[in-house]
Chain A
């Protein structure tokens, strides 16, 4: 017999939105590529970067069949996309909500240099953010995303970069939560995989960065239960000579998070960075099979890792729409399994193989 629990406070009701996005089996489709970013994607498949192409491409993703519904808890949009419509006249936010997912909006305005550093940056976008978020909320958004970027070299990230980026993330988060009826801020402190550093170094830096982020969130009175974290997985640098298994990556990642992310945070939605679709699913799966106990959901917020094949299959031709959607559905299903630790490379559920999933005696 459980003791009486105090009634839900308004805050506790707010937290339900964050939990819905990371419900079991669900993750986020990051479809918020800016006009400049999407240009690169479109040109890589020989498609022209027109507004109609961008609309058609996103429609393709948002109108995939019902198989994606149990896989996608939220979709992050770029500003332009919030106000585009499907062929049937429904605004994209409505299309997304009709499929049972929440709508998110990228609200930062890109990175800017930090003077006196070795190419380090902070992120701008705080001006008028309250008003912009209030408007986005009216227009259908329930969560937002803000990306900060840090990089690992012999002398970076510097204390300034760590402190400044943590601070600006906390300001953004605080403002989001103040919007009438609230917008859930996804906090993204991405540590780039560029460089030749090893896994241990990335883990160390990730721990320091996340400790700073959560201290800043505390200082700024941010309600953790109404936030999500979008970090990098802990991986070696791209140019690192040593190769690590998904299990090693999983162990390093979950260890770093266990040391820094308070249990009040409902979910962690990994970015895929430069990972391939398959890599991103395998790593997410290993993370969810890691034997270390953890109190938050561990799922995906993937852009390229959900879209690469779909983009290629589409190649800018309307006739390829169905084939492209099929590719997207495949990755959505794969990642839905991965975030439950049930993914096998063939894509089918239920892993029979139960080999040792972590490197024993490895000092993390």
Chain B
């Protein structure tokens, strides 16, 4: 469709600052270890956040919209989770954790200002009753969606997504080991998916290959942390790839060197990573220059 174009074209990025409550999210009681055992360095996290936003704005040339942090929402910096954006349609998700659902407020406002069509997943309506969906379980390849059915996202949530983005095939894939889909894979180019080399990831990859009509290049990285990247096709068709720096993923650096003519932007994300997040968790990428060919 009109909005079906090669992945990577973005004009805006939406981020949300690191609150002082970073790493202090209350345990939702769902059993997931949020931060209890992890000690995070707030200042370092904020510095890394600054590096990320700088790379997005100054290197990749995106217009950056930064939503001020809200101390009452310790996980609000994970903006990727609360909305799935494709084209000019934004689906406000229903995160697994009840307390995160208010994070969408500020994001919703921003998206409206960007004239995106905001679609609500619905609160407790019968239609989406029980549906949970988080953006970090959604991989959009430019051609289709893969929704990882994980501890945070269920099939019902995927159905809502499929109903929202009707132009695209929406396939569900299993995500093993309590991880999130975006933790084991991400887009590394218009037709390239970066995948981690773990057994669970391989299983997911096989399923994706089974389900897709398209052919993707697969860039396998040995470390799971390296599998989450941010690909942006910037002005003058330059390919930018934000990836974890060598310090954080020493063995995967070589893999990224295989990408031809890429501008590699090593971006540290160690603190957020401790909380189960990754590079892409910190930003929403939007393309407001939709080209209807």
Q: Do A and B bind each other?
A: no
List residues of chain A with CB under 8 Å of any chain B CB: none
List residues of chain B with CB under 8 Å of any chain A CB: none
